[in-house]
Every structure is written in structure tokens, then in C-alpha cells.
Amino acid sequence: MGGERAGDLLQALGGMTGALAGVAPGWLCLGLALHLCNQLLRGRGWWAIVRAAHDGRTRVTRRDAVAAWIAGAGAAGVLTAQVGDALRIWLLSRRAPDAGYALVAGTLVAEGAGELVAGLPLPVIAVAVGVGSTLAATWTAAAGVAAIVIVVGAAAVATRRRVRGWPVLVQLRHGCAPLAAPRAYAMSVTPWQLASRACRIAAVACFLGAFHLPVTPQTVLVVIFAQASGRMLSFAPAALGAGVAVLAATFGAAAHDEVGTGRLAAFLVGTTTLLTLMGAVVATVVVVRNADWRTLVRATRRTAPAEAPVG
């Protein structure tokens, strides 16, 4: 039994090494560019929410919002989604100190709610193209997200009734205010979110082509749902492992062909690593450009111990 498992592991590792060595660089670069466009478009949609929450009067520019969004995506890829959101809140609050952290956090809630609605057609499409039963195990993740939305909605209703003495909740509710105008939201935010999702789907297709895997609507959807299942875990290695497990269990049926676990692991590990590295570099550049180095140097000098007199 142990020898068979060792043989299977060596075979998977061999398939993974071969898949990484044979990557098509052109499709890979195109996939990376489309992924970056995905983040740019979501950042642009978030800026529309930030402006609406400030009634159109804010010092935050489109460039500030997009840069903060991309930096948060990079931090989320390296650490967790919560860290990414915290970085976005910090970066944007520096540009609009009068708004406060709570209001910016509320705009993230509004953006996430709209993104969830924009993604609702995907399960319907999955059923239409014949992979709904294959992805049945991932519906629990969607149910968890729906539960979070219900809780957030209940909290928003509660804040409307008791606003005095709760300034943080008031600011949070102001950040969510764009959700109270569905038509304006659909006109100013939803198109950017839909374009962002289209770029993400196209990026997945390019990555599949780069690793010489079957590119069909079914396989693209399987990859997207496998990635979503992995993101339910905060610990990055565990999330990656969960994504590989879901992909290995569902990809063959969607592609109507047997694909080795090593090739699938190489695809998911390789693309995730590249996207993480790209996101980390972008996040570092944005943070360095927004850091107040003069204040940091002055604080360091104040807290540095005085030198002992010589002699």
C-alpha cells in the first residue's frame, strides 16, 4: 500500500514538472494581463461607490481607488482577504481623512454585495452547460456567502433604527448607502463589475491554454468554482490544496477526458504563484508610494535612545 502511494506521488510530481516545463508563454502573459485588467475594472467600480457614498464630493481620485484596490488584491493573495481589505481601507482613508475608516469599510461591503449579485448567473450557466451536478459540492460555499449577505443586511437595518451614539455604525451605513439606489448602482457600478468578471473568465481560459489543458465553457467554470472553494480557507497552503482537490475531482468529467492530477496541480500552483508574485510587487509599490516617510523618520528619531557622551 505504501509503495503504491509513493508511486502515485512520484507520478503526480513528474506530471507537474512536465506541465510547468511546457507552458506556452504567450497565453500565460495574456492571462496575466487580463487578470490585471480584472482588478483595474473592479477598482474603477469601487471608485464609483466611494464617490456615491460621499455624494460626489471627495478628494479621492479614480487613480487612488484603483491603486488601493489592486494593492489590496495583492495583499489578499499573499496573506488573507481580510488583510487586503484592511490595506484598502488604510490607503483610501489617507486620501480622504474626513471620511474615516468606517465609511470606507462600508463601501467595501457595498462593492462585495454588488459583486455577489453579478456572479449569481454563473451557477445558472453551469447548469445550462451541463456541469451543475459536477459542481454540487461547491454550492455550500455559495450558501455561506449568502448567509453573510443576510447578516450584513440585517445589521444595516438595525443601524437605521439606532444611530445616535453609534458614530462608527453611522459611517458604515453611509458607506453602504449606494445600495439604497439600485438603479444608480446598476448604471455606475455594475457594468465595471461585469466587465471585470468577463476579464477573469478570459484570463482563466488563457491560463488553461498556456498549460495545454482543454479550454471549454465547462472547464473554465470548473476552474472558477475550484478557486472559489479554495478561497473559503484563510490559510494559503490549505486553500491551494483544497482548490487542487476540487479541480482533480471535477475537471475530468467537465473535459470528458482524463487529466492527470500532476498537470492540474501544476496549472493551479503555477498560476496562483505567478498571480501572487505579481500582486505582491504591485502592492509593495503602492504602499511605498503612499507611505509618509518624513513622519516615520521623525518618529524614529524621537524614539531613538540618546547617545552616551564620550569621555
pLDDT for position 116: 80
**Cα–Cα distance, 166 to 156 (Å, whole number):** 13
Helix axes 236-255, 261-290, angle to 10 degrees: 140
Of the two residues 194 and 261, the one the predictor is more confident about is 194
Confidence of residue 38 (pLDDT cuts 50, 70, 90): very high
Q: What pLDDT does 8 receive?
A: 41
- As a whole number, mean pLDDT of residues 280-303 equals 66
Nearest to 200 by CA among 81, 68, 70, 36: 36
Give backbone dihedrals phi and psi of 36, rounded to 5 degrees, phi first.
-65, -40
Q: What percent of the chain has pLDDT over 90?
A: 17
C-alpha separations of 102 from 184, 210, 239, 293 in Å: 22, 42, 29, 25
For residue 127, give the nearest of 138, 135, 119 by alpha carbon.
Answer: 135
Concatenating the DSSP letter of every residue in 60-95 gives --HHHHHHHHHHHHHHHHHS-HHHHHHHHHHHHHHH
The pLDDT, as a whole number, for residue 7 is: 45
* Arithmetic mean of pLDDT over the chain: 74
Which residue did the predictor score with more confidence, 7 or 186?
186
pLDDT value at 141 more than 70: no
Higher-pLDDT residue of 120, 63? 63
Residue 186 is given by DSSP the state H
Per the model's pLDDT, the better-predicted residue between 284 and 77 turns out to be 284
DSSP 8-state assignment for residue 287: H
DSSP string for 218-249? HHHHHHHHHHHHHHTSSSHHHHHHHHHHHHHH
Q: Which of 49-53, 81-85, 137-141, 223-227 has the lowest mean pLDDT?
A: 137-141
Amino acid identity for residue 4 in this structure: E
Q: How many residues does the chain have?
A: 311
Is 203:38 a contact under the CB 8 Å cutoff?
yes
The alpha carbon of 184 is separated from its chain's Cα centroid by a whole number of angstroms, namely 24
- Provide mean pLDDT across the span 254-273: 81
pLDDT of 1 over the 50 cut: no
The average pLDDT across 168-176 equals 77
> Mean pLDDT throughout 20-47?
89
> Is pLDDT at 125 greater than 80 in this prediction?
no
Q: Does position 14 have pLDDT exceeding 70, yes or no?
A: no
Please tell me what DSSP assigns to residue 306. P
Contact 150, 141 (CB under 8 A): no
For residue 15, what pLDDT is reported?
47
Choose from 16-25, 225-234, 283-292, 293-302 the range with maximum mean pLDDT: 283-292
Model confidence, pTM = 0.77
